[in-house]
Structure 1
Amino acid sequence: MRGDITIQRLNADAPSAEIVACWTFEAWGHLHPGLTKEQAIARLKAECGHAGVPTIFVALSEETPVGTASLIVDDMSIRRDLTPWLASVFVVPEWRGQGIASALVHRVEVEAAENGIERFYLYTPDQQALYRRLGWQDVESLEYRGENVTVMSRQLGL
């Protein structure tokens, strides 16, 4: 990862909050039929917590946002028994391949551990190899909102 990347907690009033919301809306808005961009922005701002769940992190190059990841209560309506979730891991395409996603995932793991969370979850249609490399384990494969996805978990403190 480039040395000039920093990872910070995202505040709802930060200039980059709307940028991050637009990234996640464009990447995953299709999974939430009827959700407007304005609703997505409001939802993201509501998840900008001060610690624990929910919290959103942003990777910055100087003041420019280049990636994001979240720790949220619920990311999969059909598995409400599982909580909390790593969600919305996204890196701007031209910044990919530099370890930013891994650094964001690690930062969310630290946040979870610091707040007493022993296990948390994610789902992905296509990034299983990345998460397995980072210590995540498969829980199940299923179809969710028209996509074949893998639900994974991470045990912390091992």
Structure 2
Amino acid sequence: MWGDITIKRLSADDPNVALVADWTFEAWGHLHPGLTQEKAIERLKAECGQGSVPSIFVAMQAETPVGTASLIADDMSIRREFTPWLASVFVVPEWRGQGIASGLVKRVEEEAIESGIRHFYLYTPDQQALYRRLGWQDVESLEYRGETVTVMSRQLGL
């Protein structure tokens, strides 16, 4: 599927933290008014848990990070009753189309199952088809910080 790609848990002292924070800041920083690149790095470090929620995973090709995904408690301020969340699924453009995002999503789902989580959420403006293929279901479509997004949910262990 994706050759020699491995997925590892990101720790707060990992040398790739700043790069992963840059990816997520560039992709979604506009959804978080007032967030700076420096704050994004600190926030990412705080989400580097040892297991369960929060956890961040990185897809690695040898020593090079090529993608990331997270399991966090809160990803949408207007839906605080929904928790936890699959968040920040990102693959470097030249590595897309190789199943890396699907592998990252499955790794986050495994983490959720191991933690006793049976139901969690995500939101996406444009990747609904990917998530539907992976077993996610639409909950609602709404405007969130100037963008039309779909909130989706996933039942695990069924």
Shorter-chain TM-score range: over 0.9
Distance 2:149 2:68 in 1: 20
Q: TM-score, normalised by structure 1?
A: 0.99
Residue in structure 2 matched with residue 42 of structure 1 by the alignment: 42
- Quote the offset at 1:33 in angstroms: 1.4
Distance 1:152 1:31 in 2: 18
**Structure 1 residue 130 and structure 2 residue 125: aligned?**
no
Number of equivalent positions: 158
Give the letter aligned to residue 129 of structure 2: A
- Worse overlay, 83-92 or 11-20: 11-20
Q: After TM superposition, list the pairs within 5 Å mapping 1:59-138 onto structure 2.
A: 59-138=59-138
Residue in structure 2 matched with residue 146 of structure 1 by the alignment: 146
- Quote the offset at 1:2 in angstroms: 2.2
Distance 2:118 2:129 in 1: 22
Distance 2:2 2:52 in 1: 27
Distance 1:79 1:33 in 2: 17
Residue in structure 1 matched with residue 11 of structure 2 by the alignment: 11
Give the letter aligned to residue 2 of structure 2: R
Q: TM-score, normalised by structure 2?
A: 0.99
- Quote the offset at 1:91 in angstroms: 0.1
Give the unaligned 5+ runs of structure 2: none
**Structure 1 residue 32 and structure 2 residue 29: aligned?**
no
Question: What is the DSSP-based 3-state SS (H/G/I as helix, E as strand, rest coil) of the residue aligned with 2:42?
Answer: helix
Question: What is the DSSP-based 3-state SS (H/G/I as helix, E as strand, rest coil) of the residue aligned with 1:3?
Answer: coil
Distance 1:68 1:23 in 2: 9
- Quote the offset at 1:34 in angstroms: 1.2
Identity %, equivalent residues: 81
For residues 32-88 of structure 1, the C-alpha deviation after alignment (integer angstroms, 9 at most, x for no partner) is 111110000000000000000000000000010000000000000000000000000
Structure 1 runs (4+) deviating above 3 angstroms are: none
- Quote the offset at 1:3 in angstroms: 1.7
Give the letter aligned to residue 56 of structure 2: I
- Quote the offset at 1:126 in angstroms: 0.3
Give the unaligned 5+ runs of structure 1: none
